[in-house]
Structure 1
Amino acid sequence: MKTTNLNFRHLYYFWMVAKEGSVTRAAERLDVAVQTISAQLSLLEQSLGKSLFAPQGRRLVLTEAGRVALGYADQIFLLGEQMLDALANSDVERTMRLTVGISDSLPKLISARLLEAALGLPERVKLVCYEDKFESLLGDLSVHKLDVVLTDRSVPPGATLRVFSHLLGESELTLFGVPSLAKKYRTDFPQSLNGAPILLPTRNNAIRGRIDHWFEVNGIHPNVVGEFDDNALLNTFGRNGLGLFPAPSALSKDVEEQFGAVPVGEMSKVREQFYAISNERKIKHPAIDAILLAIHRK
């Protein structure tokens, strides 16, 4: 078996430089001299026999070998953090950790609802949640940095990653607005929406195509005043009265309480779906299983 004398301090310094984008920023973050970082990187590259960075102007960019090394370093140091958490909790009480990736297009109220079941287990559950783009989360799931991904779309057919989609549920969409806007556009809905200020998800969002089709079928030409990748930002602009915005009908009460917005009208036959994506065809994590059971009982 081939062995190498990998120095994990050298690897950690490499990891920090890759994350910070420069030796100077990594040195500031670690409170060590720039020369120390540079020397440790040089030793790591010598031991691996590969260049991990290449200069690009004033910045350092990862080489192909550097990108491979970074992927493994991410896993190594994430596992280190998980080990420390597990050891810190082992003397107090048994804690189940659930590391969740949440797609930035998924309504935050929906993700909170879905995770409530996990927190209701008899065992203590520690949630660790990360928000990112759908594709990035799938990559993290495939290398076991995440236990599950909550999202508004299934894994596309023909995907090379060995991950599996589990439909959690769906809800029709309703257009909401602050009371003054809702009052103005509620009468003669949906024809009243011609020229109405609308806030929508961007076109790479799973639900956007269905919304555009609904407008087209109903002969409506709204004034799209904003498009957002991030669902939370869309709702914030809606709360400030800058336009009407779509949200799942099932969350009507929550939308009113959190954003001060009331229903204008339901977008009939426009449904948003919610998925859990896992590494296993059959869910094995008790907390994820609890989420699925709670959904199926409703």
Structure 2
Amino acid sequence: MNLNYRHLYYFWVVAREGGFSKAANRLNMAVQTISAQVRELEASLGQQLLKPSGRGVVLSEAGQTAFRRAEEIFQLGSTLMEELAQVGVQSVLRFSLGLPDGVSKLAVHRLLEPVLKLPSLRLLCHEGEFDPLIGELAMHQLDAVIANQPAPANPNLRLFSQKIASSQIHWYGPEALLGGLPVQARAFPHCLRHLPILLPTTHTPLRHALDRWFESEQLPMHIAGEFEDSALMSLFAMQGMGVFPVSALGAEELRTMPGLICLGGTQLGEDLYLINTRRARQHPAVLSILKPKV
């Protein structure tokens, strides 16, 4: 059986748009034409792919499988067109990097400094949850992921994890907030009893470690905000919203933010891992991140 990719494309568009009418508008074709093409695809596969649902359609179980594969196929096709468009124009070095929620973007910026020096670099940063990003990496839709945990121990994924940074957690905040406390209440970490606190969201490893740290120090938490993005958290802190934790590596970037001071350090540490596939291990950007710092 030979797969008709034109029919598969029409099915893919219908599934993405949620119905034949919307797909017809997008493709500037008649509904009847698209419907006939999809029916031919179903006949050739011997499976019903779409089922009526109200004014639209939904995927059958077989349709879900076909749609996932179609997504991969046409994503690769799009990537191929982008890469071929650069042939003979200029040599562009693409580096697609996944950054899970909760990873210190300030620290990542520091780690990417050698990457930014590469000639003709095109950096694509994708943010999202850890598991979906790992899935994209395994399907070669990303070149690497920088995360605060290693890849899951699943031999089928064929991923490699390497620790690239480890630094202590420090607390920073607006000088005006600390200055508003009585002198005897400014000592760290007890000053946190009296200050509004900004934290990473609850699904991050760092947040779990911080929750345990507050409990061990017997400190109440007056949470004023929770953020997935550490850089955004620091901006809100600079505006006086509260104090916040940051890795020592990421704290280097805070020198450009006026009014923020270091309250103190903890024994907590944050590890960062570079996760990649065998195919991407020789990517110039990956090699530059892993290159020992002199």
TM-score by length of 1: 0.84
* Mapped partners of 1:137, 1:92: distance in 2: 31
User: 1:117 matched to which residue of 2?
Assistant: 114
Could you tell me whether the CA contact under 8 Å between 1:164 and 1:279 is conserved in 2?
A: yes
Aligned twin of 2:249: 250
Q: CA deviation at 1:27?
A: 4.4
Aligned amino acid, residue 72 of structure 2: Q
**Alpha-carbon contact 2:99-2:127 (below 8 Å) kept:** yes
1:194 aligned counterpart, secondary structure: helix
What is the CA distance between 1:211 and its match in structure 2? 0.9
Q: Which amino acid aligns with 2:48?
A: S
Q: 1:266 aligns with which of 258, 264, 267?
A: 264
Aligned with 1:128: secondary structure? strand
CA apart distance, 1:168: 0.9
Q: Which moved more, 1:199-208 or 1:76-85?
A: 76-85
Cα offset, 1:269, TM superposition? 1.3
Contact 1:197 1:223 in 2 (8 A): yes
Deviation at 1:271, TM superposition (A): 1.1
Aligned mate of 2:45, from 23, 48, 65: 48
2:210 equivalent to 1:211: yes
Q: Distance in 1 between matches of 2:59 and 2:51?
A: 6
CA drift at 1:261: 5.5
> In 2, Cα distance between the equivalents of 1:80 and 1:59?
27
Partner of 2:130: 134
Deviation string for 1:133-182 (max 9, x for gaps)?
11001111111111111112112345752212111102212222233224
Report the counterpart of residue 192 of structure 1 in structure 2: 191
Structure 1: how far apart are the matches of 2:226 and 2:138? 30
| Structure 1 residue ranges (4+ consecutive) displaced by more than 6 angstroms after TM superposition | none
Q: Which whole-Å CA distance do the structure 2 matches of 1:55 and 1:240 have between them?
A: 52
For structure 1, the residue ranges without an aligned partner over 5 or more in a row are none
* RMSD (Å), alpha carbons: 2.9
Q: Distance in 2 between matches of 1:175 and 1:42?
A: 61
For 2:160 and 2:234, how far apart are their aligned partners in 1? 30
Q: Output the CA distance in 1 between the equivalents of 2:34 and 2:191.
A: 63
Counterpart of 1:193, as a letter, is L
User: 1:163·1:281 contact (CA, 8 Å) conserved in 2?
Assistant: no
**Are 1:171 and 1:249, in contact at CA under 8 Å, matched by a contact in 2?**
yes
Deviation (angstroms), 1:39: 4.0
How far the C-alpha of 1:209 sits from its partner, in A, is 1.6
In 2 relative to 1, CA 249–15 (structure 1 residues): closer, same or farther, beyond 3 Å? same
CA contact (8 A) 2:199 2:223 kept: yes
Alpha-carbon distance change, 159 to 22 in structure 1, aligned in 2, over 3 angstroms: farther
1:88 Cα shift?
Answer: 1.9
Residue 16, structure 1, aligned to residue 13, structure 2: yes
Quick check: 2:106–2:230 contact (8 Å CA) kept in 1? no
Secondary structure (helix, strand or coil) at the match of 1:82 reads: helix
Please identify, of 44-53 and 206-215, the stretch whose mean Cα deviation from structure 2 is larger.
44-53
Q: Which structure has the larger Rg over C-alpha atoms?
A: 2
Instruction: Give the 3-state SS of the residue equivalent to 1:200 in structure 2.
Output: strand
Matched, 1:173 2:169: yes
C-alpha displacement of 1:49: 2.2
Give the distance between the partners of 1:37 and 1:50, measured in 2 at CA: 17
Query: Which residue of 2, 6, 15 corresponds with 2:4?
Result: 6
Task: Give 5+ residue unaligned stretches, structure 2.
Answer: none
Structure 1 residues 151 and 32 mapped into 2: Cα distance closer, same or farther (>3 Å)?
farther
1:262 and 1:54 map into 2 onto residues whose CA distance is 57
* C-alpha distance in structure 1 between counterparts of 2:107 and 2:161, whole Å: 17
Letter in 1 for 2:62: A
SS at match of 2:68: helix
Q: Secondary structure at the match of 1:75?
A: helix
Distance of 2:231 and 2:67 partners within structure 1: 30
Give aligned pairs, total. Answer: 291
- Matching of residues 26-105 of structure 1 within 5 Å: 26-32=23-29, 34-56=31-53, 60-105=57-102
Contact 1:238 1:245 in 2 (8 A): yes
Task: Supply the AA of the counterpart residue of 1:270.
Answer: L
